[in-house]
Amino acid sequence: MTARYEDLHAQSLADPTGFWADAARAVDWAVPPSTILDDSAKPFYRWFTDGRLNMCWNAVDRHVAAGRGDQAALIHDSPVTGTKRTITYADLLDQVSRFGGVLRDAGVAKGDRVIIYMPMVPEAAVAMLACARIGAIHSVVFGGFAPHELATRINDAQPKVIVSASCGIEGSRVIAYKPMLDAAIEHASHKPSRCILFQRPQQIATLLPGRDVVWDAAMADAAPVECEMVEATHPLYILYTSGTTGQPKGVVRDTGGYAVALKWTMDHFYGIRPGEVFWTASDVGWVVGHSYIVYGPLLQGCTSVVYEGKPVGTPDAGAFWRVIAEHKAVALFTAPTAFRAIKREDPQGTKIKDYDLSSLRVLFLAGERSDPDTLQWAESNLQVPVIDHWWQTETGWPIAGNPMGLGLFPVKYGSTAKPLPGWDIRVLAADGQPVRAGDIGAIVARLPLPPGTLPTLWNADDRFVKSYLADYPGYYQTSDAGFIDSDGYIFVMARTDDIINVAGHRLSTGAMEEVLSGHPDVAECAVIGVADSLKGQLPFGLIVLKNGVTRSHAEIIADVIAKVRDEIGPVAAFKQAIVVDRLPKTRSGKILRGTMQKIADSEQWRMPATIDDPIILEEIKAAFREAGYAQLPQNEQKLPAGQAN
């Protein structure tokens, strides 16, 4: 363990105001804060309350002012369109300041909301930064969301303007956005006054006269605007997460705390220097895209890659290696599921040898639990540190991980290492009492949360308290379950809903998945708890095999059942598994375990709005039926997307 990490973590907990006051000096302030932490309205803590700044100035203008305008800010790499485009910091400043003028001309002022419904094109980042420039609050909705889901966000955020594109591209499919946007607005009770549409050549959309304007025409007529300095507590954006009530939760992110936290992580956690190429293979619709495609790299003065493609299929399992080699990326940040897809297509990593990856010095994985087998496969084939780290939409930046910028400490496979400075992480039992080291419980964070985390939910303070603070007073409930070992390493094993109760024993599905993924024929897997009249629940495994596997499914299933019995014990009662062609996932790579559990147990379920391919659930349902599950007629009564389960 590095002494520097230990010192900083101890300082951050003993003197949080001093620690974050020092971190805040790395950000440009119009009015530097004198109040670092305001705890006068507990449990609603606020950071840097009397400071004033502008996020766009810190991400764009200050780099141009420092003479670095010719440096690349964004590289758009789109294998699905066969195009590449580089935007310098000077170019970005020009586009952002003029699009700020477009928004001003549309009547958008400080505090107004703007929904951004865009594919992975640089214009999405331009729209985000332009909102920040004028003090508007943006809410990015993943491009291609179904009309119903988009309508719920329109009603909640009540945007004055929606910025969209004519289409997105998923693999070889062109997805028309405009019909979905029109249907969402028709369905919504709130109506935006203006829609600004970026027309893509792959599909030209039809405009609605009086409401819709074309991006290029609006930009041609717009006058650039300067940055408006806002309070540190002014909301920068609202980012919606799916709620269990059918009403999405709007996570609020403030400006000052977020800027300070992201700048700190780029230096101390990711270890990335200004001018280097940092590639986050995600989407601006997710928190990872907000934090580490747009704001974090630009705050640091890096070059950020905006990638419109997939880890496989655009065109093959060498797609990531091409991007790293061509753009000389020093770091890649992606989801474990991306590497499982690559490993499945190219188990021996032969395509890696086709590219010069000498620029790459680190791989970061987050978004879902990284199984040790996948992490070790990446280590072996890339020959760089592979860092699994843990965080959430709500937190905005990592809770725990191995800090590249502070000096790496020993890896424990299956662990996201130790909490970052600012985070006081505990594991509690259902009664709120601490559990012993190594015992599974609810992972919580002691209040106050550090800067950059959610201060509340949009127009829903009571829901914020009920969702995150009520079950464990004085703590933020992460809704993740796991344990902390005797060395202080955190093991995030599952969502709390994925801890299953087998004959009174609380068991982690994540631990079983770790065993399954270690089988040499298994590319990826999921374990869910299915209802059992005798034991309450039993674990059920779903396995995807690597390409080229010729052994029978029955042999492999017998292997993994024996492997779980040997490594976890008979108490796991793991006796059932099936082989499937693929697992249902969200577009960010999270496996839809909860939905599969409902299908298996013949409960009503809803089609998730973020699912990558809805057809997969029909395949899973058929596989469950063959195994003797999902038999009852009410299982067919799935709820519309967005309706409560």
Distance CA(335)–CA(621), nearest Å, equals 26
| Residues 462 and 601 both lie in one domain | no
Interval 477-490 mean pLDDT: 95
- Please give the structure tokens belonging to residue 441: 């419980």
Q: Note if the bond before 201 is cis, omega within 30 degrees.
A: no
Asked if residue 261 lies in contact with residue 397, where contact means CB atoms within 8 angstroms, the answer is yes
Which pLDDT does position 628 carry in this prediction?
A: 87
| Residues 473 and 508 both lie in one domain | no
| Residues 472 and 526 both lie in one domain | no
Residue 155: inside a domain: yes
CA 397 distance to own-chain centroid: 10
Which H or E element spans position 491?
Answer: strand 490-495
501 secondary structure, DSSP code: E
Distances in whole angstroms, Cα of residue 79 to Cα of each of 152, 200, 463, 603: 32, 15, 42, 40
SS3 assignment, position 154: helix
Which of 56-60, 190-194, 284-288 is the least confident region?
A: 284-288
Pairing verdict, β 83-88 and 137-140: unpaired
Interval 39-45 mean pLDDT: 97
| Residues 446 and 578 both lie in one domain | no
Which H or E element spans position 254?
Answer: strand 249-254
Residue 493: inside a domain: no
Distances in whole angstroms, Cα of residue 415 to Cα of each of 143, 169, 215, 412, 556: 33, 35, 46, 6, 27
Question: In angstroms, how far is the first alpha carbon of the chain from the final one?
Answer: 45
SS3 assignment, position 354: helix
| Residues 15 and 99 both lie in one domain | yes
**Percentage, residues of the chain above pLDDT 90:** 76
Pairing verdict, β 475-484 and 441-446: antiparallel
Residue 375: inside a domain: no
Asked if residue 4 lies in contact with residue 407, where contact means CB atoms within 8 angstroms, the answer is yes
Domain that holds residue 632: 503-636
pTM score: 0.86
Residues 437-473: pLDDT tens digits?
999 999 999 999 999 999 999 999 999 999 999 999 9
Q: Considering only CA atoms, which of 268, 235, 228, 242 is closest in space to residue 111? A: 235
Distance CA(61)–CA(73), nearest Å, equals 12
Confidence category of residue 643, pLDDT binned at 50, 70, 90: very low
Last residue of a domain, one of 482, 512, 544: 482
- Please give the structure tokens belonging to residue 371: 């199984």
Q: Note if the bond before 209 is cis, omega within 30 degrees.
A: no
| Residues 453 and 590 both lie in one domain | no
Residue 31: inside a domain: yes
Which domain CATH number covers 101? Answer: 3.40.50.12780
Which pLDDT does position 502 carry in this prediction?
A: 75
pLDDT at 26 over 90: yes
Q: Is 326 exposed, middle or buried (0-12, 13-18, 19+ CB in 10 A)?
A: middle
pLDDT at 123 over 50: yes
Confidence category of residue 585, pLDDT binned at 50, 70, 90: confident
Asked if residue 640 lies in contact with residue 609, where contact means CB atoms within 8 angstroms, the answer is no
| Residues 172 and 288 both lie in one domain | yes
449 secondary structure, DSSP code: P
Which pLDDT does position 407 carry in this prediction?
A: 92
Residues 618-634: pLDDT tens digits?
888 888 988 888 775 44
Q: Considering only CA atoms, which of 463, 458, 462 is closest in space to residue 111? A: 458
Q: Which amino acid is at 182?
A: D
> Across 535-575, where does the E strand assignment appear?
536-545
Which pLDDT does position 514 carry in this prediction?
A: 84
| Residues 464 and 533 both lie in one domain | no
Residue 298: inside a domain: yes
Residue 216: inside a domain: yes
Number of domains in the chain: 2
Which of 10-14, 106-110, 365-369 is the least confident region?
A: 365-369
> Across 141-193, where does the E strand assignment appear?
161-165, 167-170, 173-176
| Residues 305 and 419 both lie in one domain | yes
Distance CA(96)–CA(60), nearest Å, equals 9
Last residue of a domain, one of 437, 453, 482: 482
| Residues 456 and 527 both lie in one domain | no
Residue 488: inside a domain: no
Q: Is 511 left (phi over 0), alpha (psi -120 to 50) or beta?
A: alpha
Distance CA(80)–CA(645), nearest Å, equals 36
| Residues 152 and 236 both lie in one domain | yes
Distances in whole angstroms, Cα of residue 433 to Cα of each of 441, 471, 602: 10, 12, 35
pLDDT at 577 over 80: yes
Which domain CATH number covers 572? Answer: 3.30.300.30
Which pLDDT does position 504 carry in this prediction?
A: 58
Residues 326-342: pLDDT tens digits?
999 999 999 988 998 89
Confidence category of residue 506, pLDDT binned at 50, 70, 90: low
Residues 519-543: pLDDT tens digits?
999 999 999 888 887 777 889 999 9
Interval 122-127 mean pLDDT: 98
Residues 212-257: pLDDT tens digits?
999 999 999 999 999 999 999 999 999 998 654 457 799 999 999 9
| Residues 469 and 516 both lie in one domain | no
pLDDT at 638 over 60: no
Which pLDDT does position 370 carry in this prediction?
A: 87
Distance CA(433)–CA(73), nearest Å, equals 48
Residue 585: inside a domain: yes
Pairing verdict, β 329-334 and 386-388: unpaired
Compute the mean pLDDT over every residue in the chain, rounded to the nearest whole number.
Answer: 92
Asked if residue 150 lies in contact with residue 117, where contact means CB atoms within 8 angstroms, the answer is yes
Distance CA(263)–CA(300), nearest Å, equals 6
Last residue of a domain, one of 421, 447, 482: 482
Confidence category of residue 199, pLDDT binned at 50, 70, 90: very high
